[in-house]
Structure 1
Amino acid sequence: MSEAFLINFTPQETRVALIENGAVQELHVEREHSRGFVGNVYLGKVVRVLPGMQSAFIDIGLERTAFLHVADIWLDRTAGEQTRPIEKILHEGQSLVVQVLKDPIGTKGARLSTQISIAGRMLVYLPQEKHIGISQRIESEEGRNALRERLQRLIPAEEAGGYIVRTIAAKASDEELGADITYLRKLWSEIKSRSVGAFPPRALYHDLTLAQRVLRDLVTPETERIIIDSRENFQKLNAFATEYMTQVTALLEHYSGERTLFDLHGVEDEIQKALSRRVDLKSGGYLIVDQTEALTTIDVNTGGFVGARTFDDTVFKTNLEAAQAIARQLRLRNLGGIILIDFIDMENEEHRSQVLGELNKALARDHTKVSVGGFTGLGLVEMTRKRTRESLAHILCEACPTCGGRGEIKTARTVAYEVLRDLVREARQFNAREFRILAAPTVIDLFLDEEAQALAMLSDFVGKPISLHAESSYNPEQFDIVLL
């Protein structure tokens, strides 16, 4: 399966699209004013310890205090150190070197760990550890042992710290591994020197930019092209790759065409589709994707698809197609947390098994960790996808100012009846000469037509005249009652 990365630069943001076999599979957006914090290392200060939650709030200089759970506090197991209550480990005012595990999401602060890990192209350096771990994707025991032995020979004898060998290192030369070791040791040395004598909160290390992380983390042997639409940034990335990952330099291309890079490859259209609740399937079926604070639900519908011989076959074929589309939408929208999928009901157990297998197969290429359960008693598929950053919708959109994120607004009649109730309350509290209603044109039109009699009856009841004024700038739910 061929893949390519398209990298679009503007002064305000960087956007990256992963294309597999001509279709957009992933979208990454990083804005200059709100760059992510995952991987950053800070000297923080303990603000509050919460024994009941076995957690602490740490000030690392961000808008909201960050969150540290006792499970994310590093322990030296080789020295026999045992897990202790957090109030025995931390105290208010204490300085602490921490690393961000998860960006702030919604109202939640960043998630922290005291176990530092610095990622390179081939290796991840763990300065507090002493062991060498091998990626689980390297399945051959013989290959794992060989890699461990090679790395042990390359690590300087006097060096402390451990390493995790990434999957891409399976085919790396000794020179490439050695270069990664040197780079990571130098980086950790710089972080330590910045922390000496510093006062918290202070940033000690910022992770790479989005474009640099793509070269480091996302490029695979199947990547054929990395197309960049900015000459200046092409030169920067080329220099970065030449120094740290020479095998990537041959993949870099500068695009200078008249059409924008994302327009040329249809990425702009895919972004618009990824912000919609409805996802149309080629067969005529469709998905409805609803993202909430607690979880994401995906409903599968047959729509206009009647192509199969029987209803069972129609349902089966729609669900198979939906399984592939769902896996793509999860990556495209970067949906994380708990996900519930409501496939169309299938009586045939074999059909259920095949749909579940198709979903797992489609999710196998996801760079993010996923866990899929079977069908529940209610016929739903439960799954989780690791959430490390905001979803695409949360980056590009905000709650509707009219409905407040409900996805619905009150009808003009509902608002009109609220106005009438408020008028009664106002009349009981204030002895005004006249009441004036300011509301959206749709509400005022209702008072002039269908609810004119109700308004006249209320005017007689309160004994005061009531005038109307349409405010085109008001949203459909907004109104004011002015006392004259």
Structure 2
Amino acid sequence: MVNEIIVDVGLNETRVAVLEDKELVEIYIERPYPETLVGNIYRGKVSSVLPGMQAAFIDIGHEKNAFLYVGDAVAQREFIEEDDIHKDFKEYNIDEVLRPGQEITVQVIKEPIGTKGPRVTTHITLPGRHLVLLPNADYTGISRRIENESERIKLKKIADEIKPKDVGLIVRTASEGKDVEDFKHDLNFLLRLWESIKQKEHSGSVPRCMHKDLNLIYRSVRDLFTWNVDKFIINDRQQHSKVLELVDMISPSLKLRVEYFSKNYNLFEYYQIESKITRALARKVWLKCGGYIVIDRTEALTVIDVNTGKYIGGSNLEDTVLRTNIEAAREIAKQLRLRDIGGIIIIDFIDMHEHEHQHMVMDALRQALKKDRTKTTVVGMTGLGLIEMTRKKVRQVLSSIMNVNCPYCDGTGKILSPESVASDAEKEISAYFKRSVARAIQVEVHPSVASILKGEDGSKLAELESVHGKKIVVKGSNDLAREDIKIKEIDINSLVC
């Protein structure tokens, strides 16, 4: 498998695409506004405490107050995997932990989404190349993506040896195959960084930002550019030089894999990424077998429906269903990762009667999800045969970043039919004549609505004129949206009979 990271640096946005065998599997977009907040550390002030929600709102200087749940406000108890924390907080009440006006150090763990402000935690994490430092914990853990048991044991031993007292360490996926010397520089840097942040805690105004995470390009080098990535390609010469400097510090052996894209050509078009992004925004995704999946999002959850589509299989219906569902399971895992869909996810696979087939599809889904760096949990199958799962929500989904609600349908994906608009136009004509002494009017509407108002051979329009006893001119205009209706008075003497 050939893995590539493609970085497109523009004036108004930076885009990072992750390709696996030429297939787009992850896309990240960063713009000057809104500013990326995840990873930033703030000295904030408790704005309000809500015992009924077991949460508090923290003023961090953002336009919306941050949300702090009680489980993120009490001391950490036990870590089990990277970004996976057990919390023993049920014995706490939020008003016993925090009070209004109290100063507190928090880190953003979820971007503001929609009307909700950012979510924060007091459980600070500082990621490096090989390690994540947990300043307020005392634990060592290994990334769940390192599956080799002997390697996990080796890395756990190294982490235990170098871990300072009263801090926690998590060994990252990029550390696989490394030895103790590879960790020392990383650890020293993170310890110095935390000491610098601590020194800023009690000096300066509140609220204020004490630490900002790296920008998208450098986060990509730190978090994505590992030994299994064959190429890191970037189209900005200045940023290319800075990437080389960073790689030289954290992983010199990867320097030869960093390339500058010098062609006078759109980088994403050259690697056929633009068309793949368009596909990632589509509601319907076709499978290679001829089936397809439909992805619908609501505010609370995402629903995915699987259909056989054009695929008719062989002579065995169960085999056709199984093959479609297995291919759909793999595609769904890829789409969740690509679109960065988080929260509750419900999957409606095609009905399977064989329990063995159900297990095969579940296994295919779980295996495909192992490639996802974001934590996912497959809960299981409901009584209605639906697959229920969750995926950690950190940032806005791709569609929210690239799309806005349609000004005509307000994001519903539906508009009134021409018949409905024609009916509304008739009501507006009646209302116009009731408040006006006009003898003639012009009604300007979309052509599809105009044809309905006129009727076959103008019969409908003649009937409308007879009802009101006035002259009505219906004009179709392609410049108008389907639901637009414009009525104005005209001089009856100017009409040509």
Q: Normalising by the residue count of structure 1, what TM-score does the alignment of the two structures yield?
A: 0.89
After TM superposition, list the pairs within 5 Å mapping 1:42-441 onto structure 2: 42-75=42-75, 83-137=91-145, 147-148=155-156, 150-151=158-159, 153-154=161-162, 161-424=167-430, 430=435, 433=438, 437-441=443-447
Change (3 A) 1:463 1:47: farther
Q: Tell me the amino acid that sits aligned with residue 109 of structure 2.
A: L
| Counterparts of 1:170 and 1:283, CA distance in 2 | 36
Higher mean C-alpha deviation, range 256-265 or range 203-212: 256-265
Aligned-pair distance for 1:10? 1.3
Aligned-pair distance for 1:150? 3.6
Change (3 A) 1:304 1:463: same
Q: For 1:234, what is the secondary structure of its paired residue?
A: helix
Cα deviation digits, residues 181-200 of structure 1 (max 9, x gap)? 22112222332333333222
Change (3 A) 1:413 1:91: same
Cα deviation digits, residues 340-385 of structure 1 (max 9, x gap)? 2222222222222212211211111111111113332322222211
| Counterparts of 1:380 and 1:82, CA distance in 2 | 31
Aligned-pair distance for 1:325? 1.6
Higher mean C-alpha deviation, range 10-19 or range 253-262: 253-262
1:446 aligns with 2:457: no
Aligned-pair distance for 1:8? 1.6
Q: For 2:230, what is the secondary structure of its paired residue?
A: strand
Q: For 1:32, what is the secondary structure of its paired residue?
A: coil
Q: For 2:377, what is the secondary structure of its paired residue?
A: strand
Change (3 A) 1:278 1:152: closer
Q: Given that residues 227 and 254 in structure 2 are in contact (C-alpha distance below 8 angstroms), is that contact kept between their aligned partners in structure 1?
A: no
Alignment root-mean-square deviation, CA: 3.0
Change (3 A) 1:313 1:421: same
Higher mean C-alpha deviation, range 117-126 or range 25-34: 25-34
Change (3 A) 1:420 1:114: same
Change (3 A) 1:351 1:466: same
Q: For 1:328, what is the secondary structure of its paired residue?
A: helix
Q: For 1:164, what is the secondary structure of its paired residue?
A: strand
Higher mean C-alpha deviation, range 402-411 or range 259-268: 259-268
Q: Normalising by the residue count of structure 2, what TM-score does the alignment of the two structures yield?
A: 0.87
Change (3 A) 1:317 1:145: closer
Aligned-pair distance for 1:39? 0.5
| Counterparts of 1:334 and 1:202, CA distance in 2 | 29
Unmatched runs of 5 consecutive residues or more in structure 2: 79-87, 491-497
| Counterparts of 2:100 and 2:475, CA distance in 1 | 57
Change (3 A) 1:450 1:96: farther
| Counterparts of 1:143 and 1:280, CA distance in 2 | 39
Q: For 2:480, what is the secondary structure of its paired residue?
A: coil
Q: For 2:279, what is the secondary structure of its paired residue?
A: helix
Higher mean C-alpha deviation, range 5-14 or range 54-63: 54-63
Aligned-pair distance for 1:288? 1.7
| Counterparts of 1:207 and 1:431, CA distance in 2 | 64
Aligned-pair distance for 1:140? 7.3
Q: For 2:64, what is the secondary structure of its paired residue?
A: coil
Q: Given that residues 76 and 123 in structure 2 are in contact (C-alpha distance below 8 angstroms), is that contact kept between their aligned partners in structure 1?
A: no
Aligned-pair distance for 1:432? 5.0
Equivalent in the alignment of 2:83: none
Q: Tell me the amino acid that sits aligned with residue 321 of structure 1.
A: E
Aligned-pair distance for 1:338? 1.6
Equivalent in the alignment of 2:17: 17
Equivalent in the alignment of 2:482: 476
Higher mean C-alpha deviation, range 100-109 or range 160-169: 160-169
Q: Given that residues 446 and 452 in structure 1 are in contact (C-alpha distance below 8 angstroms), is that contact kept between their aligned partners in structure 2?
A: no
Q: Tell me the amino acid that sits aligned with residue 180 of structure 1.
A: D
| Counterparts of 1:453 and 1:50, CA distance in 2 | 65
Cα deviation digits, residues 156-199 of structure 1 (max 9, x gap)? 6xx75332232433533333211112211222233233333322
| Counterparts of 1:258 and 1:396, CA distance in 2 | 25
Q: For 1:33, what is the secondary structure of its paired residue?
A: coil
Q: Given that residues 420 and 455 in structure 1 are in contact (C-alpha distance below 8 angstroms), is that contact kept between their aligned partners in structure 2?
A: no
Aligned-pair distance for 1:244? 3.3
Q: For 2:390, what is the secondary structure of its paired residue?
A: strand
Aligned-pair distance for 1:397? 0.9
| Counterparts of 1:177 and 1:470, CA distance in 2 | 72
Aligned-pair distance for 1:234? 1.0
Q: Given that residues 215 and 248 in structure 1 are in contact (C-alpha distance below 8 angstroms), is that contact kept between their aligned partners in structure 2?
A: no
| Counterparts of 2:357 and 2:194, CA distance in 1 | 53
Aligned-pair distance for 1:117? 1.2
